[in-house]
A and B are shown apart, each in its own frame.
Chain A
Amino acid sequence: MSSGETAGIAVRAGLPRERLLSRVRRRWFGPSQPWWGFVFTLPMLVLLVCFKFWPMAYAAWLSLTNASLTERTWRFVGVHNYARLARDSTFVGALATTGRYVGATIALSMVLGLGLAVLLNQKVPARGLFRTLMFLPAVVPIVVAPILWQFLFNPYGLVNDALKAVGLHPVNWLLSSQGAVEALVVATAWRLTPLCMVIYLAGLQSIPGELYEAAKVDGAGAPRRFRSITLPMLKPTFLVVLVFAITLTVQNFVLALVMTGGGPDNASTTLSLFVYQTGFLGFQMGYASAAALVMLLIIVAFTMLSLRALRTEEG
């Protein structure tokens, strides 16, 4: 309801004080009781404050100190950690690597996931079985996935054999600068695609079937229907898939840690691996917190842009 409508209702209800209500009060305590929205949000908000916001604030505070896991006393150092990050070639390299890694992974997963979801939304026999089978990569325990892929990416292994079979050159996957990132992209996308598919499937259910029927009657072919109906109606879903994909890819360092160790020579060291190595293996929690916060800010900025780009009239 727009404020005009609210005012209209107020006038109809005969409330002369409506003109005296400040904008804020109207937006919160108007007749449609928008403040209930906040009430609904409150339980989750409480949980998030206790278990997410407070630790985040603590991490932000840590980033301004020289906190170390092994020292008992810490000193406030202001923005020293951030200045150090700017000079740190490993960090800057990790930024670039993360950009490439995340970009490639989410592009691959979002496109493949959409394709699979559309395919499995059709009336194909045994589609329930297919959907479940396609979900399996997400079900395998995360500690086992790197082992599977390490073996498949062995220089004499399945992936290179497949490449040779179609006439391409075998790639030095895990021990070359280029191949290591590509291998990580494949392994991550393998796990991410089914999850994207699931989200897309849910989104596809919100598109009324009548729209497709009407388009068919009008003579629109399948690609046309996809472009004109499916894609626009999936806009709200795109945002969820994007946020989900970014979150999963950016936070995941187990795959990189086990498959490549960040190597060779830091070629596959992502930001989250850098944070882990600095904070835990290096004990420098203050510095690691600063790196994590930079990471957070970049992603939040990106998410805000996406929110704007994928806005619908109501959103």
Chain B
Amino acid sequence: MSLATAAVHQSRRAARVRAHAVTIALLLLLTGVTVLFLMPIFWMVSTSLKSNRHVFDLPIQWFPRPALWSNYPAAYRTVRFTRYFVNSAVVTGSVTVLNVLLSALAGYGLAKYRFLGRHALLILILATLMLPLEVVMVPLYLTVQRLGWLNSYQGMIVPVAANALGVLMMRQYFLSLPDDLIAAARIDGAGHVSTFLRIAVPLAWPALLTVAILIFQSTWDDFVWPFLIISNTSKATVPLAVQTFQSAETSDFPMLMAVSSIASVPLTLLFFIFQRQIITGVATTGMRH
């Protein structure tokens, strides 16, 4: 082996060792941060396996002995979870799909078209994000009542889908996409809508998924609005189930934590799938210059 080749091998090996060291350092850092960050969650899961008596023992007993795994099936049965899960899935899924679709359309319109008044429209739309539900609850309830949507799925879906956050997010994302491809498609004679569907949407996949996750998270967790308009428990959603273990004078904390853990599973799974899509779903588009 010539001297030059050996030197190259050596430097390559050194580079690999350096890369490994960096990776290990990053892993350690991440692990430390994660453990610190998830302390409350550890306590939540640990509590779900205790008996009510030992929930608030200090110092904290992280690994309960005995671990009451039976709390989980007991919690699931007490609350008749399946019904609640189905309702939540229907409502949250519909809200997410509706909101992502309408937000993508609106964001695209605000970002890629220069019509007079678009700036003012954006401000107006953003203003709707800032008002707390409590203040608008009464007129909102009246509106839903007049539409005849009380105690119905559409009453839980449509008003909640009116969320401007997705609009802002999509607008910003579309702004960061260069105009060239879109202009090219238009000059080629493609219609506005087909340009949107065939060019813009695939490019915006990460943003669409992100909006989906955010809307899914906030809708899945929403208690006040479904409780307000649903009077028939057959249509109730998961947060209402979680509430049944709490009252003004006593609570069954282990069951509450077990129910919360169960309630958290769908969103966690969904996120795990989506986050891969967000990162790897950006196909090389040939757009980068």
- B-binding residues in A (CB < 8 A): 1, 24, 27-28, 32-41, 43-45, 47-48, 50-56, 58-59, 116, 119-125, 128, 130-145, 147-149, 151-152, 154, 156-158, 161, 190, 195, 198-199, 201-203, 205-206, 208-210, 233, 236-237, 239-240, 243-244, 246-247, 250-251, 253, 272, 275-276, 279-280, 285, 288-289, 292, 295-296, 299-300, 303-304, 307, 312, 314-315
Contact = CB atoms under 8 A, between A and B. Distances in A.
Contacts of A143: 223, 239, 242-243, 246
Contact of B110 (A41, A137, A147, A158): A41
Contacts of B128: 48, 52-53, 56
A119 B26 contact: yes
Contacts of A137: 37-38, 40-41
Interface string B10-35: 00000000000001001101100110
B131 A59 contact: yes
Contact of B133 (A35, A37, A158, A251): A251
Contact of B165 (A33, A142, A243, A250): A243
30 contacts: A27-B115, A34-B114, A41-B121, A47-B162, A48-B162, A56-B127, A58-B138, A124-B27, A132-B275, A139-B264, A139-B268, A140-B41, A140-B264, A141-B242, A141-B263, A142-B221, A148-B40, A158-B39, A202-B173, A205-B282, A206-B177, A233-B176, A236-B172, A247-B129, A251-B132, A275-B135, A289-B135, A296-B127, A299-B130, A312-B176
Contacts of A157: 58
Contacts of B129: 243, 247
Given A44-B167, A144-B260, A27 B132 contact: no
Contacts of B239: 141, 143
Contacts of B179: 314
Given A138-B217, A209-B288, A240-B165, 17 more contacts: A36-B192, A38-B113, A41-B109, A47-B158, A47-B162, A52-B136, A53-B128, A122-B26, A124-B26, A128-B275, A137-B40, A142-B221, A152-B43, A272-B134, A275-B132, A279-B134, A314-B111
A245 B109 CA distance: 24
Contact of A41 (B105, B127, B257): B105
A116 B183 CA distance: 36
A144 B108 contact: no
A139 B172 contact: no
B181 to A, nearest CB: 14
Contacts of A295: 130, 132
Nearest to B276: A128
A55 B264 contact: no
Contacts of A285: 138
Contacts of B125: 44-45, 48
Contacts of B123: 300, 303-304, 307
A198 B130 contact: no
A140 B43 CA distance: 12
Interface stretch (B68-76, B77-85, B207-215, B228-236): B207-215
A54 B139 contact: yes
B275 A296 contact: no
A30 B256 CA distance: 60
A292 B125 CA distance: 17
A20 B86 CA distance: 60
Nearest to B137: A55
B140 interface: yes
Given A56-B128, A128-B275, A143-B246, A134 B37 contact: yes
